[in-house]
Chains A and B, each alone.
Chain A
């Protein structure tokens, strides 16, 4: 480490350090050797020499070059050129760190200071004495040189010439920055001011809360003693952690804590506000729509880009009709509940109400109704729980937000779905007795809408709401045609008079089926006996469905696996459809197309298109193993079917490749169904979803 600088002659011109040892309490002034000398003079000459060394050794303890130095409160000046300087520092630190120091009362200071000026180039003039031998020569040379310099001015050998340094062209570059807003603030904290602020802050903390809330965003952790004099900043500070730390006393700090708590509770209040719930639900809908956009587009029949390509490729082929699953309405609440019924809202066709059975079908337990909206496919908009399993439900046409449900224990309730959680009307469970209530609703044109229910005890009752009272009136009591005494379930069919002109008695006639395979037609005006009886099915009829387009055609299904197509006037079925020996749970006509209907068997869905074939279904879709399909619904205006199953899921399927082929046997069908009353039905079924019916005479 010993660094020495020698000049050309070899003499040691190592720059000497400044005074190394100062504030030396030791009176021994001979102690001039710097620490550096001690450190760097490797030879232990220092230590072996006489008095100075003794002094050194006594002073510094027992040392060799790498033993600790006792530096009791010295301040050391170390001034050397850079590299040396670093080396020294390194060495010192090494010493200090490696070896335990004797406990030092005070630390020691390393003071770094400037070096002397180091001259890098020094050409001293040579001094020649007058008496030297070459003094004359030197003089002459000097004179020559002076002449030369002076002659340079006008001589031809030299001329002045300017040269140009090329300066690069300036380029204008435009930038744009935000202006840095600056605010000047000044404050004078006088003693009285401080006192005032403190005393005020402890007294009226609450009254000034609102002001403080505004300050919160600007200065999060700021507790300003002279808050009164502080002006508001105009710029906004977004960082939460922007801290203006002022010296605060403990009292001010507790202020800050309380202040923070209060503002945080304000923030939390935002979260629980109603407007926020609305925003959150909007957000959820938007996100869900994003996810399901292609499916919803398919549901609505909007052309999807990929589909179009495929269609153009395969245009000539006849593709098998299939059901393409789009999405599923399911939520954790509804898992495992069998679905019994589904219906669309009359006014807003995007809202679907689904009724669930609570628990297993054996023991009636509280059921569920969920209202789903097409805007949010993931979570149901409303969930209502009822005291018993739901067997059927229906939206009202005149009050579109009223939903009437019939329950397993025979009671009927009306819910107002606009309200989140309420029952609009009381559920009446006294009058109407037994099971399988199926409320029906008449859609009377002029008259008021009436809620009518049919139940398994053979009564048809009309329900009225009078002064918040839910009352029922028996319209008719069905007598069992054969007194077999076995349990008989009654289903009902709704009659819609479409196409006008066909006035019936009050609201229209009815058809009911009684177990045993008979179907009876009754009308409201004539409540004593049935008008007609239709017998064909050997086993109980499970479902009857009127055609929404042809007002006197209906389908009946039964547990013998057949579907019969009837016309009102004839007591024998016009057509019969069989495919599989399995109980047919339900059948529904398609609202879009007059010749299409779908039927649910326990484990499959079949879609029949009478234009294409009356012998076999056009489309068969099997359910997943272990799942029983229980409910079916068409979507109006869209080529889709909703299927509810025993898992509590409603799956939406799109009818794909349906009606691609040309219709066959149109005439035959027309011939079959046309009656002598000039019921002319012509089915134009080339294009999708286009049906016209001319019904004369009626």
Chain B
């Protein structure tokens, strides 16, 4: 438990990272460094995206596994890692 907290803290301390959210697969945020409203928004919007991405991979190649997904926007980059029971989101401002 403490290691996880430590790692999350380290992640948050990296350059450019704006927020880290950990949520379980049903959409409840377990840990978050953003404020509640944003957390809920991110979780709610990312979850269907993840479902679709996993489904797509599953259809293309059933032996393949989802590792992570990056959504790069003009302002920042959203990195999503996921497993069966949870998913984790990090929002990072890319280096200039």
Contact = CB atoms under 8 A, between A and B. Distances in A.
Given A279-B88, A283-B11, A291 B28 contact: no
A293 to B, nearest CB: 7
What is the interface of chain B mostly: helix, strand, loop, or mixed? Answer: mixed
A531 interface: no
A271 B31 contact: yes
A283 B81 contact: yes
A507 to B, nearest CB: 42
B44 interface: yes
Given A240-B28, A277-B4, A283 B90 contact: yes
Contacts of A216: 26, 28
A279 B27 contact: no
Given A217-B26, A270-B86, A282-B81, A290 B40 contact: no
Interface string B43-81: 110010000000000000000000110100000010101
Nearest to B4: A271
A238 interface: yes
Interface residues of B, number: 40
A379 B7 CA distance: 10
A511 to B, nearest CB: 45
A239 interface: yes
What is the interface of chain A mostly: helix, strand, loop, or mixed? Answer: helix
Contacts of A280: 4, 7-8, 11, 81, 88
A275 interface: yes
Interface in A49-83: none
B7 A268 contact: no
Interface string A367-391: 0000000000011000000000000
Range of interface residues on chain A? Answer: 20 to 34
A311 interface: no
A294 B95 contact: yes
Contacts of A273: 85
A459 B44 CA distance: 67
Chain A CB count within 10 A is highest, among B28, B40, B43, B70, for B28
Contacts, number: 101
Interface in A182-203: none
Contact of A282 (B4, B14, B67): B67
Contacts of B82: 279
B40 A378 contact: no
A328 to B, nearest CB: 14
A380 to B, nearest CB: 12
B16 A290 contact: yes
Interface string B1-22: 1011001101100111100001
Given A286-B79, A287-B14, A267 B94 contact: no
B43 A238 contact: yes
Chain A CB count within 10 A is highest, among B26, B82, B83, for B26
Interface in A275-318: 275-277, 279-284, 286-288, 290-291, 293-294
A271 B23 CA distance: 10
Contact of B77 (A217, A267, A275, A290): A290
A277 B8 CA distance: 11
B33 interface: no
Nearest to A291: B15
A271 B22 contact: yes
Interface string A318-333: 0000000000000000
Contacts of B40: 238-240
Interface of B: 1, 3-4, 7-8, 10-11, 14-17, 22, 24, 26-31, 36, 40, 43-44, 47, 67-68, 70, 77, 79, 81-86, 88, 90, 92, 94-95
27 contacts: A238-B40, A238-B47, A270-B24, A270-B85, A270-B86, A271-B1, A272-B1, A275-B83, A279-B81, A279-B82, A279-B88, A280-B4, A280-B81, A281-B7, A283-B81, A283-B88, A283-B90, A284-B7, A284-B10, A286-B70, A286-B79, A287-B16, A288-B14, A290-B77, A290-B79, A290-B94, A294-B95
